[in-house]
Homo-oligomer: A and B are copies of this chain.
Amino acid sequence: MNTSISQSTPKSVRLYDLVLDNGCTISPFVWRIKYAIAHKGFAVESMPVGFTGIQKILDGKYERLPIIDDGGTIVPDSWGIADYLDRTYPDRPPLFATKNERVMARFFDAWLWREIFPPMFRCYVLDNYNFAKPEDRDYIRESRERLFLGGKSMEVTVAGREQRMPAIRQSLQPLRNALSETPWLGGEKPNYSDYCGLSAFLWAASINTHPPLEKTDPLFDWINRGFDLYDGVCRDHRLRPLAA
């Protein structure tokens, strides 16, 4: 009975996935798209690629991941993919239920990339290098030091990071406030804002050798529920603790 087989096998979306040497996803843009695909009720078919492997896939046309292949339709860029999924599958749960939800997810993500990612990046860039595939390391050192660290070495950048952790934890206060009266940023259910926020912690969990949070951080309620979402689509036994 083909019918029962096709009913029990959910449609899957192929996802080109940026991974470390141990196979764990690293990119916060990929993590959020894993959630987005699962949010729509689809299975994620992961195609793991290293940093320098991107030029070897899809005729070398793209420089960044994620990219999805949805039955032959190639869609790059995490925001482009989120919009594609809502546009193409309007009968499935929306990532953005209203235009305001999309605008505020953009604002929230801009806040993450201004206030949270840069100081964390300056703590974890060397961990990223050390956990990357051997063939990716030269590229990571050269590109990070030139583009993001103003020519400073990764080693100099991360030195003294322990002393910077309290300021990072403090900068997360607006997120704690927002989550103090709601289970999800999306309200009763998660939406794309949750996936943007969770992707920051999945990125940190994929590489950190000095955890950013304290065990008692109230954010863990949301983080743990978030990592468990959709049968643990983003759970990975290679993720490292976020608190000591």
Contacts and interface: CB of A to CB of B under 8 A. Distances in A.
A174 B109 CA distance: 9
Given A114-B173, A114-B174, A193-B100, A107 B185 contact: yes
Contacts of A231: none
Contacts of A185: 100, 103-104, 107
Q: Which of A99, A100, A105 has the most CB of B within 10 A?
A: A100
A243 interface: no
A2 B111 CA distance: 53
Contact of A97 (B98, B105, B182, B193): B98
Contacts of A103: 178, 181-182, 184-187
A78 interface: no
A188 interface: yes
Counting chain A residues whose Cβ lies within 8 A of the other chain, the interface size class is 20 to 34
Contacts of A208: none
A191 to B, nearest CB: 5
B187 A107 contact: no
A64 interface: no
Interface in A188-237: 188, 191, 193
Contacts of A188: 99
A106 interface: yes
B106 A104 contact: no
A108 interface: yes
A45 interface: no
Given A104-B104, A107-B185, A181-B106, A98 B99 contact: no
A191 B100 contact: yes
Contacts of A193: 100, 104
Given A104-B104, A104-B193, A107-B185, 20 more contacts: A97-B97, A98-B98, A99-B182, A99-B188, A100-B104, A100-B193, A103-B181, A103-B182, A103-B186, A103-B187, A104-B108, A104-B178, A104-B185, A106-B177, A106-B181, A107-B175, A107-B177, A107-B178, A110-B177, A114-B174
* Closest 9 pairs (CB-CB, A-B): A99-B187, A104-B104, A107-B178, A110-B174, A100-B187, A100-B186, A110-B177, A103-B182, A100-B101
